[in-house]
Structure 1
């Protein structure tokens, strides 16, 4: 068997095993359930408010935006945090020691994170349909658009999450990424249209994938009339495809280079030093 094919198969098996472990772990299940419950609670109380200038529910408008936010958050920050933690505990060093082990490791993580992200989307969307009106859920086109945006969003964010995880060596430094990401979420029209923002803030929001993931999800689930409250008065499908595609290409180009560099630097002494620093922090 081709070594690359063997690594891909091993990575898929690893991903399935990690999925089984995470869905049978009470702590992991709570980590999935709590954000979903918090989001649905917020949507429930927002259902009576309306998008400015319309009679459409602000809760229904926010839900697809939040689905896009969840994809970006999971693709970048969750994957980055797992890479940082598993580099510190020696998991990545063990993967490096096997032929094509890093490839198998990354495929396993991508399998895990993609499945968790899609399951989380379903857990958020389906209950919300019970109390939010106006979402396009009877159209096959809407579901196909939703799936296409989700897949493209994962391709755009997962490689960048791997890059971030490779660049951050200390788990405590994850906050340096978390805080700017929270700021981008606030700027990206997830919870409120950004039309009233200054032009330069609108420009900053449109550089990053979070805004476009939210817009793509809104284009799938909201009626066409709601495009009027978006920038430019349309769903801008081509721009969404272009920006998310550009981030995907950038991530796919950078990730292998950065990860190879990280793997070359890994050694038993570096792992031991990290463990010692971790024990000192705990002590």
Structure 2
């Protein structure tokens, strides 16, 4: 039964991905942050990374792409789960044996595909706008895979804990704060040590570091902590977050599914209507 549910979920994920690729809203959501970030970085091309002659704009490109992965993957999945609870999609899935597993599999697949799209399309554009990018395809692939495995379960946790999209504002603000101290827009070594320690706890920094190692020349590692790309540490920390996510997400999702009923969906719809009035 579980295998059947996962197979159905994969098929659903492919269908949702095709629908997303033909949806202007979905495409814009996936490309919004990279597009805006790239425009900002274009104006910083004349500035250089401290201690080097390398363009600060180019150095920030991987960080912008990591921002896209976090928001399209984690926040996007969380928003999708909340909206499906409000319109009864989760309740309908719950009525089918192993339906929640198939539903979640489909959502994860489609979100992962859109997150990858949010990296590859802006990366192709960045290759034209910025000089100095040096793409290591193997590193790029494994960083994206490990990064998505780390952040997508967190998105499922977020979607399980919050009952409306507005409540996600706190999570979004927290992510923005982490992005500000994670070396996304400026080398992290320029920040105070205590900020570096905080950044190193969360997956945002390590995803950005991994993407920088995949897209920037090896000489740029000199502005990173320890003057190294720290691949082993990247796998270790992202892997640890993935384990935490995979342990907590099923428990919270099952609890969320048990609480779904016709009355809760009706109440959620009423609140959603009130918010739009």
Q: TM-score range by the shorter chain?
A: over 0.9
What's 2:243 paired with?
A: 249
CA distance in structure 2 between the partners assigned to 1:150 and 1:217 by the alignment: 8
What's 1:150 paired with?
A: 144
Deviation sequence 1:237-278 (CA, Å, 0-9, x none):
111111001001110111111111111111111111111222
What's 2:70 paired with?
A: 72
- Alpha-carbon contact 2:33-2:64 (below 8 Å) kept: no
CA distance in structure 2 between the partners assigned to 1:122 and 1:171 by the alignment: 28
What's 2:116 paired with?
A: 118
Report the alpha carbon displacement of residue 33 of structure 1 after superposing the two structures with TM: 4.2
CA distance in structure 2 between the partners assigned to 1:119 and 1:202 by the alignment: 29
Deviation sequence 1:96-137 (CA, Å, 0-9, x none):
110111111111011101111111111111111113222213
Q: How does 1:208-223 map to 2 (within 5 A)?
A: 208-223=202-217
How many residues align? The count is 277
CA distance in structure 1 between the partners assigned to 2:23 and 2:129 by the alignment: 30
What's 2:274 paired with?
A: 280
Consecutive unaligned residues in structure 1, runs of 5 or more: none
Shift in alpha-carbon separation, 1:161–1:123, aligned structure 2, 3 A: same
- Alpha-carbon contact 2:9-2:104 (below 8 Å) kept: yes
Report the alpha carbon displacement of residue 65 of structure 1 after superposing the two structures with TM: 1.7
CA distance in structure 1 between the partners assigned to 2:107 and 2:235 by the alignment: 25
- Alpha-carbon contact 2:187-2:223 (below 8 Å) kept: yes
What's 1:127 paired with?
A: 125
TM-score of the superposition, structure 1-length normalised?
0.94
CA distance in structure 2 between the partners assigned to 1:196 and 1:224 by the alignment: 19
**What RMSD over aligned residues (CA atoms) do the two structures have, in Å?**
1.3
